[in-house]
C-alpha cells in the first residue's frame, strides 16, 4: 500500500505557475484595497482626527521655565498637599507643569469644560506625561516648552504618571490633577490669594 506522506524534507508539489483561482484574485484585490484605505487614513487622520495635540512648541531655558512655574504657583495657589502646592488658575489661563526627577509640580486644580493652555517642560531629563487612568501621553523634554490647549471633559482626582524611564526614582514620580465641576470650583481671587 502506498501512503502519501509529506515529511517536509521533499519540496511540496509545485503549482505556482498555474493561474490563480478566482477567489484568490478577489482576496488579493480586497487586501490591496484595504491597504490603500489604511494608507489614506494616516494623512486623513492627521488632518481630521480628534487626537492631535494643539502643539505650541518653543525653546525655553529650564531655569526660566521653572521660574515661570513658581510665579504661576504663587499667583494661583489655593492650598497644599503635604507640601506640594495646589494651584487653581482661572479658565483660559496659561498653566505650568514642571517635571523633574522625581516629581511633577505643582498640583493643578482645573474646572471641567474650561480651556487652559498647559505648558509642559522638564528641568533635567526626558520624562513622560501620562494621565491616569485616562490614556493621554506626552513627552516632556528639557529645553522645550510644550503648550497644549486642554479642556478637561471629566471631573475627578487624576494622577500623572511618568512613563519615560528617568532614573532610580522613576516609579515614584506621580503627580496630581484635580478636575472639578465648574459650579463648585473655587478659584484664587487675586494674585497670591490663599484659601
Ligand atoms: Cu520621570 Cu520617569
- CB of residue 145 inside a 6 A radius of ligand 1: no
**Distance in angstroms (rounded) separating the CA atoms of residues 80 and 88:** 11
Least confident among 27-36, 70-79, 156-165, 179-188? 179-188
Distance 103 CA to ligand 1 centre (A): 8
- CB of residue 109 inside a 6 A radius of ligand 1: no
- Residue 136: count other Cβ atoms within 10 Å of its Cβ: 14
Residue nearest ligand 1's atom 1 by CA: 127
- Taking only the tens place, the pLDDT of each residue in 51-102 is 677 677 889 999 999 999 999 999 999 999 999 999 999 999 999 999 999 9
CATH class name, domain 57-180: mainly beta
Cell of 35: 491597504
Q: Are 104 and 143 in contact (CB under 8 A)?
A: no
**Distance in angstroms (rounded) separating the CA atoms of residues 67 and 61:** 10
Beta bridge partners of 116: 150
- Taking only the tens place, the pLDDT of each residue in 126-155 is 999 999 888 888 999 999 999 998 999 999
Distance 160 CA to ligand 1 centre (A): 10
Domain boundaries, the chain: 57-180
Q: SS3 of 95, please?
A: strand
**Sign of the CA dihedral with 27 first, then 32, 37, and 39 last:** positive
Q: Please give the model's pTM, rounded to 2 decimal places.
A: 0.70
Amino acid at each position: 500500500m502506498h501512503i502519501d506522506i509529506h515529511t517536509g524534507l521533499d519540496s511540496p508539489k509545485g503549482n505556482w505557475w498555474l493561474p490563480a483561482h478566482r477567489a484568490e484574485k478577489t482576496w488579493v484585490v480586497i487586501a490591496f484595497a484595504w491597504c490603500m484605505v489604511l494608507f489614506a487614513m494616516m494623512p486623513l487622520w492627521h488632518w481630521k482626527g480628534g487626537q492631535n495635540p494643539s502643539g505650541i512648541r518653543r525653546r525655553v531655558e529650564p531655569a526660566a521655565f521653572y521660574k515661570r512655574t513658581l510665579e504661576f504657583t504663587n499667583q494661583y495657589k489655593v492650598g497644599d498637599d503635604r507640601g506640594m502646592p495646589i494651584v487653581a488658575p482661572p479658565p483660559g489661563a496659561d498653566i505650568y507643569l514642571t517635571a523633574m526627577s522625581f516629581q511633577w509640580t505643582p498640583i493643578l486644580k482645573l474646572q471641567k469644560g474650561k480651556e487652559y493652555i498647559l505648558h509642559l517642560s522638564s528641568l533635567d531629563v526626558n520624562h513622560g506625561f501620562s494621565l491616569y487612568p485616562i490614556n493621554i501621553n506626552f513627552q516632556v523634554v528639557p529645553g522645550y516648552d510644550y503648550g497644549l490647549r486642554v479642556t478637561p471633559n471629566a471631573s475627578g482626582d487624576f494622577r500623572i504618571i511618568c512613563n519615560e524611564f528617568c532614573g532610580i526614582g522613576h516609579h515614584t514620580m506621580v503627580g496630581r490633577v484635580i478636575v472639578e465641576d465648574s459650579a463648585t470650583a473655587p478659584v484664587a481671587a487675586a494674585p497670591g490669594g490663599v484659601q
